[in-house]
Structure 1
Amino acid sequence: MNETKDAEQGPISERDLFLGLVQSFQAAAMQQMGKVMNPFTEKIERDMAQAKLSIEMLEMLKTRTAGNLTGQEARFLNHVLTELRLNYVAESERGEGEPPKPEGSP
């Protein structure tokens, strides 16, 4: 990154760091469920065990940060967990031979 630009922006807030961490786990889980393409292999890949682990890590984060989050942070984390759980159930019920449904598909 550009050091001048970084110096002008100042430090990243804890709120933004927390939201970024949650988004990182969300993106990983969606990729692991085959909902989005792996940017490195440019393929849709599916690893439900890893997706479950990513979701469990967010659940642990929710438990460990209970009472320490702002309302916005807690709502965002709850929303992400709900979305991931619903997608996980849908993908778990899908047969192995069926093609993955891209994010946003019915």
Structure 2
Amino acid sequence: MKKKEEARDKKTEKDEEIKEKKAKEKVKKEEKKQGEGFKEPDLPVLFVWFISMLSGKSWEYLGLIMNPETKEINKDLKKAKIAIDTVAFLYDQIKNDLNPEDFKRIENLLANLRMNYVEKLKES
């Protein structure tokens, strides 16, 4: 009787070890899948995102839109110029890799930012 119980206990332990091993393998496979699922964006995509962020700050520094956090309009032409120049620099770096739609959109964006900057400079 004791031998049967010992054999059953050993079998149970082995079953648990197998289950644990399978669970660990499953977790590793899931982690690998998630790692494969993440694809680092291309450099032009990141630059377009940076341009979008900087252009928003440019409009804010030109005093044409309010700061979304403070709900205030803060005009700072020095910061606006830096942001606009940075947008222009990023654009120059990736313009050959852009699709025609993004190319035209950023060209227009830069033209509008620059015109508004000149107007605000004249007002000062």
Alignment of 1:47-66 (within 5 A): 47-66=76-95
* Separation of aligned partners in 1, 2:74 and 2:40: 33
* Separation of aligned partners in 1, 2:82 and 2:39: 31
Alignment of 1:1-106 (within 5 A): 17-95=46-124
* Separation of aligned partners in 2, 1:88 and 1:45: 14
* Separation of aligned partners in 1, 2:116 and 2:105: 17
Tell me by how many angstroms 1:64 deviates: 1.1
- Higher-Rg structure is 2
Tell me by how many angstroms 1:70 deviates: 1.3
* Separation of aligned partners in 1, 2:103 and 2:83: 18
Task: Please state whether the residue corresponding to 1:67 is helix, strand or coil.
Answer: helix
Tell me by how many angstroms 1:72 deviates: 1.2
Tell me by how many angstroms 1:16 deviates: 6.1
TM-score of the superposed pair, with normalisation by structure 1:
0.69
Cα gap change, 1:55 to 1:20, in 2 (>3 Å) = same
User: Can you list the C-alpha shifts for 1:25-51, whole angstroms capped at 9, x where unaligned?
Assistant: 111000001101112222110110110
Consecutive unaligned residues in structure 1, runs of 5 or more: 1-6, 96-106
* Separation of aligned partners in 2, 1:86 and 1:52: 12
TM-score of the superposed pair, with normalisation by structure 2:
0.60
Consecutive unaligned residues in structure 2, runs of 5 or more: 1-33
* Separation of aligned partners in 1, 2:120 and 2:101: 28
RMSD: 2.2
Comparing both structures, which one devotes a greater share of its residues to helix? 2
Tell me by how many angstroms 1:76 deviates: 1.1
Identity of aligned residues (%): 23
Task: Please state whether the residue corresponding to 2:86 is helix, strand or coil.
Answer: helix
